[in-house]
């Protein structure tokens, strides 16, 4: 009786399973849709190749490419490293940079607009802006001069650019500090804001230099957080209370680590992220704990030696009084 019941259930499940599979007409429709999409993709790729071939014949290639096969062969064998980038005349470049410099110095609240403008020039027009370390000296020698006379215009360009990006760096760092102090908006908004500021700093300066600057900012916040756990020097040190305060600060400490992990993992490599977290948070925490323990050990030593000194002085005083009395 039980076997018959099991058989009927198995048969029912098998029928349901078979009904799920599409029939022949459904299979034909699915295959037809896939075939149509493949044809559309092939047509789109062919049109794209034709447009690239036409543009290449107009601008780059010395020889006329007749078909797609010859174009792909040329593209595969072309040495892109030999391509020369177009350059802007020095005079025009100086005028452009001087205009930006003047806007930053003489007009208020132009930093955001100029930053966005420079980013668009870089991403959409392929303009390359130098990201040399701050304070680096620039030495340019004129290639047309036999005696190697210094090219003053090239030096002027870099001096003006340095002044512009220094102004923009101060603006971005101030934004980071203000955002850290005010904590306005949602957590997601704060993370996005800090990420954008750091990405823009990466655009202006080498990544390593930006990370060092940001590390100093975060390191100060960490030390301020941990030092709040210790009582004021005018008050009596209480080990149990300090330990309790340190425990209470762990959530905030962990939140800071998580935020920087989230921000930095999206804009730099993992080795730089781990180095940053280790030096900014873990090493700083270890240093602060070591300083605290040294303070407590010193206090304990003073408390133990002070009564012994008092006892010794009192005993000497007593012996002196007895001697005089005799």
Question: 150 has which bridge partners?
Answer: 141
Tell which residue, 207, 201, 210, 209, has the closest CA to residue 115.
Answer: 201
pLDDT in the model for residue 243: 82
Which tens digits make up the pLDDT trace of 136-177? 543 333 333 333 334 456 677 889 999 999 999 999 999 998
Q: How confident is the model at residue 134 (pLDDT cuts 50, 70, 90)?
A: confident
In terms of average pLDDT, the best of 32-36, 57-61, 290-294, 320-324 is 290-294
Q: pTM (2 decimals)? A: 0.61
Q: Which of 215, 289, 298, 280 is nearest to 245 (CA)?
A: 289
Choose among 166, 271, 269, 173: nearest CA to 218: 173
- What pLDDT does 90 receive? 72
pLDDT > 80? residue 27: no
How high is the pLDDT of residue 215?
Answer: 94
Select from 197, 207, 144 the least CA-distant residue to 174: 197
> What is the average pLDDT value for the chain, to the nearest integer?
75
Give me the percent of the chain exceeding a pLDDT of 90. Answer: 26
Quick one: pLDDT at residue 258?
92
pLDDT, residue 172, reads 95
Q: How confident is the model at residue 206 (pLDDT cuts 50, 70, 90)?
A: very high
Assign 3-class secondary structure to the chain: CHHHHHHHHHHHHHHHHHHHCCCHHHHHHHHHHHHHHHHHHHHHHHHHHHHHHHHHHHHCCCCCCCCHHHHHHHHHHCCHHHCCCCCCCHHHHHHHHHHHHHHHHHCCCCHHHHHHHHHHHHHHHCCCCCCCCCCCCCCCECCCCCCCCECHHHHHHHHHHHHHHHHHHHHHHHHHHHHHHHCCCCHHHHHHHHHHHHHHHHHHCCHHHHHHHHHHHHHHHHHHHHHCCCCCCCCCCCHHHHHHHHHHHHHHHHHHHHHHHHHHHCCCCHHHHHHHHHHHHHHHHHHHHHHHHHHHHHHHHHHHHHHHHHHHHHHHHHHHHHHHHC
Question: What per-residue confidence (pLDDT) applies to 276?
Answer: 94
Radius of gyration of the chain (CA): 36
Q: Which of 45-49, 120-124, 257-261 has the highest mean pLDDT?
A: 257-261
Q: How many residues does the chain have?
A: 326
% of the chain exceeding 70 in pLDDT: 66
- Tell me what the mean pLDDT of segment 3-27 comes to: 55
d(CA 318, CA 267): 75
Question: For residue range 230-253, what is the model confidence (pLDDT) as tens digits?
Answer: 765 555 667 788 888 888 888 999
CB contact at 8 A, 166 and 177: no
Convert the pLDDT of each residue in 39-98 to its tens digit: 887 787 777 777 777 776 666 555 566 666 766 676 666 655 554 545 667 778 888 889
Q: What pLDDT, on a 0 to 100 scale, did the predictor assign at position 122? A: 86
Q: What pLDDT, on the 0 to 100 scale, is given for residue 231?
A: 61
Across the range 112-138, mean pLDDT stands at: 81
For 32, the token pair is 């037809």
- The most confident of 106-115, 176-185, 237-246, by mean pLDDT: 106-115
Task: Label residue 7 by pLDDT band (50, 70, 90).
Answer: very low
Question: Residue 142 and residue 149: Cα distance in Å, rounded?
Answer: 6
User: Would you place residue 289 in the very low, low, confident or very high pLDDT band (cuts 50, 70, 90)?
Assistant: confident
Helical packing angle, 90-106 and 111-125, nearest 10°: 150
End-to-end CA distance of the chain: 121
**Alpha-carbon distance 272 to 207, whole Å?**
10
């Amino acid at each position: 009786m039980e076997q018959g019941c099991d058989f009927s259930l198995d048969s029912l499940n098998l029928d349901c399973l078979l009904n799920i599979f599409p029939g022949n007409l459904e299979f034909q429709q699915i295959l037809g849709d896939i075939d149509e999409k493949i044809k559309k993709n092939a047509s789109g790729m062919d049109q794209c190749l034709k447009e690239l071939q036409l543009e290449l014949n107009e601008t780059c290639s010395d020889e006329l490419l007749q078909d797609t096969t010859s174009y792909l062969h040329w593209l595969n064998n072309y040495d892109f490293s030999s391509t020369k980038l177009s350059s802007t005349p020095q005079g025009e470049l100086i005028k452009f940079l001087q205009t930006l410099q003047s806007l930053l110095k003489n007009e208020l609240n132009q930093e955001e607009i100029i930053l966005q403008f420079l980013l668009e020039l870089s991403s959409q027009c392929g303009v390359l802006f130098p990201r040399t370390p701050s304070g680096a000296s620039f030495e340019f020698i004129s290639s047309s001069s036999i005696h190697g006379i210094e090219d003053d215009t090239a030096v002027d360009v870099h001096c003006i650019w340095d002044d512009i990006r220094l102004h923009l760096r101060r603006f971005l760092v101030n934004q980071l500090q203000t955002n850290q102090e005010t904590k306005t908006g949602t957590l997601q908004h704060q993370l996005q804001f800090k990420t954008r500021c750091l990405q823009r700093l990466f655009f202006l300066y080498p990544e390593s230099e930006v990370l060092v600057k940001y590390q100093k900012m975060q390191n100060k916040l960490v030390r301020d957080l941990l030092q709040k756990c210790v009582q004021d020097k005018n008050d009596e040190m209480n080990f149990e209370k300090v330990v309790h305060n340190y425990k209470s600060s762990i959530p905030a400490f962990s939140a800071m680590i998580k935020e920087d992990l989230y921000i930095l993992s999206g804009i730099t490599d993992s080795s730089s992220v781990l180095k940053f977290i280790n030096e900014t948070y873990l090493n700083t925490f270890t240093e602060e704990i070591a300083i605290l323990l040294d303070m407590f050990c010193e206090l304990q030593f003073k408390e133990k030696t002070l009564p012994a000194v008092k006892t010794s002085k009192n005993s000497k005083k007593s012996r002196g009084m007895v001697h005089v009395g005799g």
